[in-house]
Structure 1
Amino acid sequence: MKAYIRDNILYINKEDIPEYQKGKSVVRNNYFWALKSISDYAPFNGDWEFCSEIWIALGRMLLFFYNSGYLGDRETMLEFEDDVLIPDELRAVSTKL
């Protein structure tokens, strides 16, 4: 998931937010609701925001869903631009583009 940090807030690009699909995969829908529940702001058609206070929880949640085997790297890893310093709390679930 493409991500960026501005003013100590992590943003996940709206195109990479998992979709809720009624009647589809329970794991993907749980993933959607779990991410939405810990976000600070999750507009319908915008980037989702996560304040730095919950980055540890976000990292643990992303690792949990990755380790479940139902979701791949592309859906559970945060992708940052090369010039971004990745915070320690997110390092285990992050990569560079």
Structure 2
Amino acid sequence: MRARIEDDILFLHHEDVPPYKKGGSVVRNSYFWALKAIAGRASRGRDWEYEPEVWFALNRMLLSFAESGYLGLSETQLEFLPDTGEIPDVLRSVSTWL
């Protein structure tokens, strides 16, 4: 998922966040609700926002869903642009550069 950090807020690109689908996969819908539950802001059509206080929980959640094998790497890995600067330590295990 494309990600960026601005003013200590982590933003996930809204097009990369897995959508909720009524009658869809239980794993994907659970993933959607878990991501939404810890987001500071998660509006339709806007990038989702996460404060530093939840980054540790986000890291654990992304690792857990990645290890389940039900979701692809592109859905459970944060992708930062090279000009982002340094990736915070707490997010490094679930992050890569685009």
Q: Which residue matches 1:58?
A: 58
Instruction: Calculate the TM-score normalised by the size of structure 2.
Output: 0.97
In the other structure, the counterpart of 1:46 is 46
**d(CA) in 2 for partners of 1:61, 1:21:** 20
Structure 1 portions without partners, runs of 5+: none
- Deviation beyond 3 Å, 4+ runs, structure 1: none
1:54-78 CA distance string (max 9 Å, x none): 1000000000000000001100000
Q: Which residue of 2 aligns with 1:87?
A: 88
CA displacement, residues 18-37 of structure 1 (integer Å, 9 cap, x when unaligned): 10011010000000000000
Unpaired segments ≥5 residues, structure 2: none
Cα-Cα RMSD: 0.5
Q: Within the alignment, does 1:76 sit opposite 2:72 as a pair?
A: no
1:95 and 1:16 map into 2 onto residues whose CA distance is 15
